[in-house]
Amino acid sequence: MSDSARAPWSLATLLVALGLLCGCDTFFTTPYEWHLPPGFPTPVVPGDNPLTVEKIALGRRLFYDTRLSANNTQSCGSCHQQALAFTESRATSVGSTGERHFRNAMTLTNVAYNATFTWAHSGIVSLERHILIPLFGDAPVEMGAGGHEADILKRIQGDAEYRKLFAAAFPYRWNRINFDNIAKSIACFVRIAISFDSPFDRYAYFGEDAALTESQVRGMNLFMSERLECSHCHNGFNFSQFATHESSLIQDRAFHVTGLYPATEAATAGVDYGLFAATNETSDRDKFKAPTLRNIELTAPYMHDGSIATLNGVLDFYAAGGREIATGPRRGDGRAHPGKSPFIKGFILTPEEKADVLNFLHALTDERFAADARLSNPFLIEKSEP
Amino acid sequence: MSTGLLAACTENDTARIDIRFDAPQMADVALGDLRFYVHDIELIDDQGRVETWRPMPSAWQHERVALVDLAGNSTLQSNRMLSGYLPDRNFVALRFSLGVPFELNHANPLTAPTPLNRGDLFWTWQSGYKFLRLDWVARNKQWSFHLGSTGCSSASSLRPPSAACAQPNVVRVELKPFDPRKQHVRVRFENLIRPLQAADRQSCTGDYAQSPACIAALSVIGLNVQTGRCDGACAQRLFEATNE
């Protein structure tokens, strides 16, 4: 056989070898460009899961696909609904088998900037890792994929559209339809859920004085004040201490007791003590992270267990420096919790001031984000096609 | 002639000088955060010449400003040493300002260079940065002392002031004698913690004039709470030179 006859085969081998060697999925794929507004930092993306247009398209379909749950009833999007800034209106979520979760579905707004994931875990630091919890978690069961992996992969494999999307997203991999690539693609999709187009952003970062009403400016001044102390924990461009990005130095381990529940001497089984469950440190009991306040108007109910129905109620809660619970297993005075953050010391607002603060919080709503077609459910479009 | 040549040669030599910081632990105090900005670092040599310290590029230093982080237990990293370049001489004194200079203190933190891009060290455009952030747990309570400018006037909390704040609360510190090759800077944060704990006040994070404990804490840094400047000699008791 002549050298020239062998060349095409060699070329193919070389290309596959190159792809394997470089270990990246950007070979033959299209890198995603962030197009962030000027000045906003670029989120950190793990080296083994670069953002590509193809993975995002695949991840979008997977995010909204109920076939990812064992019994075909639930997708990521069931509890993370776009119109509600990727939350739901339930206090706490209900899994695919009907099991009640003990926590409220968190917003995915700007989740790419999160340094840690879930309401209270210091060790879950990547989206790829986090996504395995709703997929495979069994306490409680969410999507219930554990033990049904082969079934689920068969469903995906049997769908011609998926075969196309996987081939485009992971072009030179064998056995490319697997849970590692599923988690990576979903992570790519939710990373692009970026929200920086609220009236607040236009006022703060783009100098549009008219973007906020006078009431909203007064409310913003109160929010930022030492009197209310809100901005101690809800600070920075993402209104969260947990923002990390390419040029940030380091990440603080900032979880807080808000006074939502009283301190207990001994931990009781079945009670959510927040960070304590991850670290087993007594001082971490009842600590939760301060989530972003972006789109907070859309994400009711509030707190880690959805136990406060409205933003008005949340303001009352912080004004009182916590709350006292009269009955039930967690009765007692949360205000007196010894681990409570020193910034939750209570405040008094006039009715006008309270309305101002609420109006300011509404100025964090990004209408474009909640309706962004790139983040929408692709199955609705597929169905509506003739 | 040869002595002169040698002297000239020495004049032009640049040395790397590290300025190290430490903070001795306190019994019964769990330090949560101890970070502070310094700027305009100068060293004075044995002939009285003042040399401006030129920082090595790093995530902790930008031109005039550097961030020191002594609470390694609350963060993944700490920064106990500032590294920079100076003429190779014998230095006998150290000067620096605690805080962020006004020109850099009220800009958009999003576009600020590191280490000025820390959201948890920034209040607002109006107030600027927390120059010093000290958080601790003691007596089963959480405490905080945050220092920054007060009395800053602007259209709203998110607009920068056009003129200096009424109380800048920036302190010029001089440590003398100080030899960076043999000594380091000890941060006596217990001098801040004691007056606050004695008054049983949980926090001091602004409105410094409102509480005797805050007034006492500011005097430890050498600041007059009314003027936001130091009285006379800037007699501060937070930083000291140590051989240990």
Whether residue A261 is predicted with pLDDT greater than 70 in this model: the reply is: yes
- Is A248–B109 a contact, with Cβ atoms under 8 angstroms apart? no
Q: Could you tell me how many CB contacts below 8 A there are between chain A and chain B? A: 88
| pTM for this entry | 0.84
Q: What is the dihedral of CA B51, B57, B58, B64, to 10 degrees?
A: 40
C-alpha distance from B176 to closest chain A C-alpha (Å):
32
Subunit contact A249:B119, Cβ cutoff 8 A: no
- What does each C-alpha distance from A214 to A293, A350, A352, A360 come to in angstroms? 20, 16, 12, 10
What pLDDT sits at residue A53? 97
Q: Residue A68 in contact with residue A75, Cβ under 8 Å?
A: yes
Instruction: Pick from B126, B142, B152, B196 the residue to mutate for testing the A interface (most A CBs within 10 Å).
Output: B142
A146, A99 in Cβ contact below 8 A?
no
Q: Could you give the angle at which helices A351-362 and A311-319 cross, rounded to 10 degrees? A: 130
Nearest neighbour of A243 by CB, restricted to B75, B119, B205 = B119
The stretch A246-253 carries a mean pLDDT of 51
Q: Do B124 and A224 touch (CB under 8 A)?
A: yes
The share of chain A scoring above pLDDT 70, in percent, equals 89
A contacts of B126 (beta carbons < 8 Å): 224
Quick one: pLDDT at residue B244? 77
- pLDDT of A321 > 70? The answer is yes
**Inter-helix orientation angle B212-220/B190-198, to 10°:** 170
State whether B118 and A205 contact (CB < 8 Å): no
Residues of A with CB under 8 A from a CB of B: 38-41, 203-205, 209, 217, 220-221, 223-226, 229, 231-232, 235-238, 241, 243, 247-254, 283, 338-343, 345
When pLDDT is cut at 50, 70 and 90, the band that residue A2 belongs to is: very low
Query: CB-CB: which of B33, B109, B141 is closest to A338?
Result: B141
Radius of gyration (Cα) for chain A, nearest Å?
23
Q: Return the higher-pLDDT residue of B204 and B98.
A: B98
- Supply the pLDDT for residue A177: 96
A39's tokens? 């000045």
Mean pLDDT, rounded, for A202-224: 96
Of A223, A236, A338, the CB nearest to B119: A236
Contact of A278 with A288, CB cutoff 8 Å: no
CB contact under 8 Å between B156 and A217, yes or no, is: yes
Of A375, A114, A87, A135, nearest to A251 by C-alpha is A114
Nearest-by-Cβ selection for B76 from A220, A250, A254: A250
Please list every residue in chain B whose beta carbon sits closer than 8 Å to the beta carbon of residue A217: 156
Q: Is B210 on the interface with A (CB under 8 A)?
A: no
Q: Which residues pair with B150 in a beta bridge?
A: B167
Radius of gyration in angstroms for the set of CA atoms belonging to chain B, rounded to a whole number: 19
Across the interface, whether the CB atoms of B120 and A241 are under 8 A apart is answered yes
Q: CB under 8 Å to B194, separation ≥6 — which residues?
A: none
> Closest Cα to residue A107, out of A366, A243, A299?
A299
Instruction: Nearest by CB to B110, from A232, A237, A338: name it.
Output: A237
3-state helix, strand, coil in chain B (%, to 5): 15, 40, 45
Q: What is the mean pLDDT of residues B226-233?
A: 84
Mean pLDDT of A349-378: 98
| pLDDT band at residue A79 using 50, 70 and 90 as cut-offs | very high
d(CA B96, CA B84): 14
- Confidence (pLDDT) at A208: 96
Mean pLDDT of B74-100: 88
A249: pLDDT strictly greater than 50: no
Burial of B6 (0-12, 13-18, 19+ CB in 10 A): exposed
pLDDT in tens, B88-140: 999 999 999 999 999 999 998 888 888 998 878 888 999 999 999 998 988 87
- Asked if A152 contacts A70 with a C-beta cutoff of 8 angstroms, the reply is yes
Sequence-ordered alpha helix ranges (H) in chain B = 2-12, 102-105, 190-198, 212-220
Element (H, E) at A129: helix A127-130
Q: What pLDDT shows up at residue A10?
A: 58
Q: How far, in Å, CA of A305 to CA of A295, rounded?
A: 18
**Test the A interface: residue of B58, B114, B117, B145 with most A CBs within 10 Å:** B117
Q: Do B75 and A248 touch (CB under 8 A)?
A: no
Reported as a single tens digit per residue, the pLDDT across A100-111 is: 999 999 999 999
- Answer whether A249 sits within 8 Å of B123, measured CB to CB: no
- Of A144-148, A230-234, B117-121, highest mean pLDDT: A144-148
Residues of B within 8 A of A223 (CB-CB) are 157
Mean pLDDT of A183-200: 98
Cβ pair B67, B34 in contact under 8 A: no
Confidence band of A382 (pLDDT split at 50, 70, 90): low
Of A40, A235, A338, the CB nearest to B110: A40
Judged by average pLDDT, the poorest of A197-201, A303-307, A311-315, B206-210 is B206-210
What's the gap in Å between the CA of B17 and the closest CA on chain A?
A: 23
What pLDDT is recorded for position A267? 80
Q: How close does chain B come to A278, measured CA to CA in Å?
A: 17
Q: Is the pLDDT of residue A250 over 80?
A: no
| Contact between chains at B111 and A39 (C-beta distance less than 8 A) | yes
Share of chain B above pLDDT 70, in %: 92
Residue B80 φ/ψ, nearest 5 degrees: -100, 5
| pLDDT value, residue B74 | 41
pLDDT of residue B75: 46
Confidence (pLDDT) at A384: 63
| Selected residue of B130, B158, B205, B208 to mutate for chain A interface (largest A Cβ count, 10 A) | B158
**ipTM tops the 0.95 cut:** no
Q: pLDDT at residue A195 above 90? A: yes
Query: Residue A343: its pLDDT value, please?
Result: 86
Q: What is the pLDDT of residue A242?
A: 62
pLDDT of B117 reads 83
Band of residue A307 on the pLDDT scale cut at 50, 70, 90: very high
pLDDT value of position A247: 52
As a whole number of angstroms, the distance between CA A104 and CA A89 comes to 9
The residues that bridge with A345 in the sheet, in sequence order, are none
B142 inside 8 A of chain A by CB? yes
| Predicted local distance difference test score (pLDDT) of residue A26 | 57
Beta partners for B34? B134
Is B119–A343 a contact, with Cβ atoms under 8 angstroms apart? no
pLDDT band at B7 (very low <50, low <70, confident <90, very high): very low
Residues 6 or more apart whose Cβ sits within 8 Å of residue A374: A60, A192
Distance from CA of A128 to the nearest CA of B (A): 21
Minimum mean pLDDT among A28-42, B70-84, B221-235: which range?
Answer: B70-84
Chain B nearest-CA distance from A109, in A, is 18
Which of A205, A209, A342 lies closest to B142 in CB terms?
A: A342
Contacts of A290 in chain B (CB under 8 A): none
Looking at per-residue pLDDT, the higher value among A172 and B49 belongs to B49
- A124-128, A225-229, B122-126, B232-236: least confident range: B232-236
pLDDT of residue B9: 46
Evaluate if residue A3 carries a pLDDT over 50: no
Give contacts of A231 with chain B, Cβ < 8 Å.
Answer: 123-124
Closest-CA distance, A56 to chain B, in angstroms, reads 27
Mean pLDDT value of segment B174-179 = 96
% of chain A with per-residue pLDDT over 90: 75
Distance from CA of B208 to the nearest CA of A (A): 11
CA atoms A16, A22, A23, A27: torsion sign: negative
Q: What average pLDDT does chain A have? A: 90
Lowest mean pLDDT: which of B33-42, B67-76, B183-192, B195-204? B67-76
Q: Which residue has the higher pLDDT, A288 or A10?
A: A288
How many Å apart are CA B178 and CA B19, to the nearest integer?
10
Give the chain B residue nearest A239 (alpha carbons). B119
Which pLDDT score, from 0 to 100, does residue B8 have?
A: 44
- CA nearest to A223 within chain B: B157
